[in-house]
A and B are shown apart, each in its own frame.
Chain A
């Protein structure tokens, strides 16, 4: 499938998944201890994480902005998601080149995935960026530094859940039968 068509489809699917399903689930810790934050898993940054390796940074930034603003318009949080997503898009290239053994230009026609990177590097790559995204987003959303512990707890819980959902998404939407190089 054409890489543009594929990514446009993924853009729509991920936004609908986030807005129509995940936003309706408010997760609580199973025993609801006092003071434990409620949170929503944010899976949509996965779209930026899965763009092909050779995507230029300016394109990543613009797509991050579009994605963030779309999510913002659904959730009435003008700018907050966009801010965090642009930061994630900007740092993506640096994180990838730090993690991968070869230069990024040598991975032409591929995209970051468990298959092309291996389990460990991909999990490090995605969880680092997701935690960063959540940290920035929840910081802007709360904008209250009197209770750092609460903020950290919220970021941690939300990141763990988001990562679980991301892994499930990848396992569901990855072709298993294609042969490895």
Chain B
């Protein structure tokens, strides 16, 4: 017995070493089985917390990249929705840019008139009487004059000046332009801005007999040369009847928040040129 204790004391380090190595081998062995090993893995509490803290910090560095990718995905989805909604059941509409072969049985032609591009807002103003927004896309990215610009929530404006790498957008908050709009029931009118507040738009040319409630939405209509139909412009705040001509003014809460605009979509209408040419030529003949 004395010899045994002596032996243990003498070789204590070696025994401890071998014992710990055996524990390690058992651990390695366990990991290689199907059940795995939950104690010594990053699923346990301490390393989980450390990794969580780290990802919380690193997350912020990736936000911009993530924003951009979400934006691109949104543009893609918008384009897809457009393709689904733009189904022309007339046989003779082959002039549109076809995206799928004509189904000869139903004569349905699928076409995509609008092309969406994403852009980041680099400068913005809301307090002038004609407000301009600068974006980081230009002719090199395929932007040209008069393309429509929308945000994730609603209409923003129209491209007015383009350089190689930038474009400036005349926003809806301008006295220079009017946007043709429609109410839910199909009544058409125009949306203008009266310089009072960057959140408040005005819709004109609506007959008085149209009944409206607060919160009703106002959308772009099919007549516009540049905007796709059914983009939200704003929601009704209040109405005001005009006695002299039987029309009413509708005050709208703008759908886009112009104060913190960061990303926009620029929309190219591929059929705009042809449509405008036709309309101009018919107007000049009169």
- Decide: B40 and A78 in contact? CB cutoff 8 A: yes
Closest B residue to A89 by CB, please name it: B17
Collect the chain A residues with CB atoms within 8 Å of residue B28's CB: 78-80, 83, 140
**Interface 0/1 of A47-91, CB less than 8 Å to B:** 000000000011001101100110011111111101100110010
**Are B13 and A73 neighbours in the complex by a CB distance under 8 Å?**
no
Report which residue of B31, B44, B47, B51 has the largest number of chain A beta carbons within 10 angstroms of its beta carbon.
B47
Asked if B13 and A82 sit within 8 Å, CB to CB, the answer is no
Residues of the B chain whose Cβ atoms lie less than 8 Å from the Cβ of A74: 42, 47, 50-51
Contact A73-B46, Cβ < 8 Å, known A20-B54, A61-B16:
yes
Q: Interface size for chain B: under 10, 10 to 19, 20 to 34, or 35 or more residues?
A: 20 to 34
Which residue on B lies nearest to A82, using beta carbons? B24
Does B30 interact with chain A (Cβ within 8 Å)? yes
Q: Which residues of B contact A58 (CB under 8 A)?
A: 12-13, 16
* Smallest Cβ-Cβ distance to A19: which chain B residue: B50
B27 within 8 A of A: yes
Nearest neighbor of B26 in chain A, beta-carbon distance: A79
The answer to whether B20 has its CB under 8 Å from any CB of chain A is yes
Docked CA distance A67–B17 (Å): 15
B46 nearest CB neighbor, chain A only: A73
Contact with A along B27-51 (1 / 0, CB 8 A): 1101100000101111010110011
A151 within 8 A of B: no
Q: Does B21 sit at the interface, judged by CB under 8 A? A: yes
Task: State whether B47 touches A73 (Cβ < 8 A).
Answer: yes
Residues of chain A within 8 A of B39, CB atoms compared: 73, 78
Question: A149 CA to B12 CA in the complex, in Å?
Answer: 37
- Give the complex CA separation of A86 and B15 in angstroms: 12
Assembly CA distance A161 to B140 (angstroms): 45
Contact size class for A? 20 to 34
Minimal beta-carbon separation of B261 from chain A (angstroms):
35
Q: In the bound complex, what is the Cα–Cα distance between A74 and B16 (angstroms)? A: 25
Determine whether A16 belongs to the interface, using a CB cutoff of 8 Å to chain B.
Answer: yes
B37's partner among A75, A78, A83 (CB-CB below 8 A) is A78
Residue B94 at the chain A interface, CB threshold 8 Å: no
Within the complex, the shortest CB–CB distance from B172 to chain A, in Å, comes to 46
Does B66 count as interface, using CB distance less than 8 angstroms?
no
**B70 CB–A CB distance under 8 Å:** no
Other-chain contact of B31, A16, A57, A64, A78 (Cβ < 8 Å): A78
Inter-chain contact B50/A87, CB cutoff 8 Å: no
Please name all residues of chain B whose beta carbon is closer than 8 Å to the beta carbon of A20 when the two chains form the complex: 50, 54
Q: Determine how close the nearest CB of chain B comes to the CB of A63; give it in whole angstroms.
A: 11
Contacts of B54 in A (CB 8 A): 20
Q: Report B-chain residues with C-beta under 8 Å of the C-beta of A73.
A: 39-42, 44, 46-47
List, in ascending order, chain B residues with CB within 8 A of A62's CB.
Answer: 16, 20
B84 contacts partner chain A, Cβ-Cβ < 8 Å: no
With known contacts A19-B50, A74-B50, A78-B31, A57–B13 Cβ distance under 8 A: yes
A86 contact set on B, CB distance < 8 A: 17, 20-21, 24
Tell whether, in the assembled complex, residue A78 and residue B27 are in contact, meaning their CB atoms are under 8 Å apart.
Answer: yes
Q: A73-B40, A74-B50, A79-B31 are in contact. Are A61 and B13 (CB under 8 A)?
A: yes
Tell me how far the C-beta of B8 lies from the nearest C-beta in chain A, rounded to whole angstroms: 12
Q: How far is the CA of A83 from the CA of B46 in the complex (A)?
A: 21
How far, in whole Å, are A87 and B25 apart by their CA atoms in the complex?
13
In the complex, the answer to whether A72 meets B40 with C-beta atoms within 8 Å is yes
Q: Bound complex: CA of A76 vs CA of B26, how far in Å?
A: 15
Chain B contacts for A76, CB-based, 8 A: 41-42
Known: A73-B46, A78-B31, A82-B24. A90 touches B13 (CB 8 A): yes
Beyond A16-B50, A61-B16, A78-B41: 19 further Cβ-contacts under 8 Å?
Answer: A57-B17, A62-B16, A62-B20, A65-B20, A65-B23, A73-B39, A74-B42, A78-B27, A78-B30, A78-B31, A78-B37, A79-B23, A79-B30, A79-B31, A82-B24, A83-B24, A83-B25, A86-B17, A90-B13
A→B interface (CB under 8 Å): 16, 19-20, 57-58, 61-62, 64-65, 68-69, 72-80, 82-83, 86-87, 90, 140
Q: Which residues of B pack against A, CB within 8 Å?
A: 12-13, 16-17, 20-21, 23-28, 30-31, 37, 39-42, 44, 46-47, 50-51, 54
Give 10 CB contacts A-B under 8 Å. A57-B16, A58-B12, A61-B13, A61-B16, A61-B17, A73-B47, A74-B50, A76-B42, A78-B31, A79-B23
